[in-house]
Amino acid sequence: MALLNIKNLTVKFATATGSFTAVDGIDVHVDRGEVLAIVGESGSGKSVSMLAVMGLLPDTASITADEMTYDGRDISNLSASERRTLIGREITMIFQEPVASLNPSFTVGFQIEEVLRLNLGLSRRDAQSRALDLFRAVGIPEPEAKIKAYPHQMSGGQCQRVMIAIAIASNPRLLIADEPTTALDVTIQKQILDLLMKLQEDYGMALILITHDMGVVAETADRVVVQYQGKKMEEADVLSLFENPQSPYTRALLSALPEHATGDRLPTVSDFFAQETAR
Ligand SMILES: Nc1ncnc2c1ncn2[C@@H]1O[C@H](COP(=O)(O)OP(=O)(O)O)[C@@H](O)[C@H]1O
Ligand SMILES: [Mg+2]
């Protein structure tokens, strides 16, 4: 049985100009301990589909699905208290903008300790020592000093490490990482990805990694879902996807990798579609 199983998920937004379908009948599942990459260009509905799972979409979203289960349990209609015991504990999520995800008015230590006290019921003292352990686990240097820092006193990479520390605090069985390195410098991106992969292995978590970068997919994923304009274009294990992509859209994403570049400019997906239609 899959850990998370989503069938025929559709998300529509009510907008001033009518209803807009952001996710159009997508199936996604992830098994225990598995790394699933969801890849696609900006706007393809990657974030919206996972925010729907987390119950984090605004009221303007209408969500339907034939199945939405976690560990065999229906999660489409949880009460607020059921949702709180699941989301933020068993399933956690980290976002693209680490600095914006932290509250600028409080120290990072206060923020992680709040989560530990509220979500895990730890005492203040236990929360403090657990926060230090977590800062060490995510490779924050001088954790005793850093725990007293405000977000603006830390680099983007360090803020993302704090967010990761918060996300793994409850020992989740599923971590959803939504473009966790996109906002970071290239050199830091690899460190954060390596950290996520190490934690995924150490904790035996399932990881859903949302990315627009096929290079990231190649380095991390067991299985890949390729998404375009709210629809699933292709799903395959990572080796098959790279060796024998079935969808033209997947081939377009692959051709945008630097090693396939010709000339002085990287080809874009629209270049590729132009070639396909010219044929
Ligand atoms: N709250 C919202 N209201 C209306 N449209 C939205 C909302 N959130 C996202 N969208 C739209 O849904 C589509 C998918 O967005 P998103 O899932 O964020 O894309 P991705 O994560 O793949 O870049 C986009 O066209 C986006 O503009
Ligand atoms: Mg997104």
pLDDT of residue 150: 97
Percent of the chain whose predicted confidence (pLDDT) is above 70: 92
Could you identify the atom of ligand 1 that is nearest to the CA of residue 58? 1
Strand partners of residue 39: 211, 226
Supply the pTM of this predicted model. 0.91
Per the CB < 8 A criterion, the answer to whether 242 and 218 are in contact is: yes
Q: Which long-range contacts (CB under 8 A, 24 or more apart) does 238-243 make?
A: 238/37, 241/217, 242/218
Q: In a 3-state reduction of DSSP, which class is residue 21? A: strand
pLDDT of 130-189, one tens digit each? Answer: 999 999 999 999 999 999 999 999 999 999 999 999 999 999 999 999 999 988 998 899
pLDDT of residue 274: 57
More confident residue, 11 or 187: 11
Average pLDDT over residues 194-221: 95
Which residue's CA is the nearest one to ligand 1's atom 19? 43
Average pLDDT over residues 256-272: 58
More confident residue, 135 or 277: 135
pLDDT of 23-32, one tens digit each? Answer: 999 999 999 9
13 lines ligand 1 (CB under 6 A): yes
44 lines ligand 1 (CB under 6 A): yes
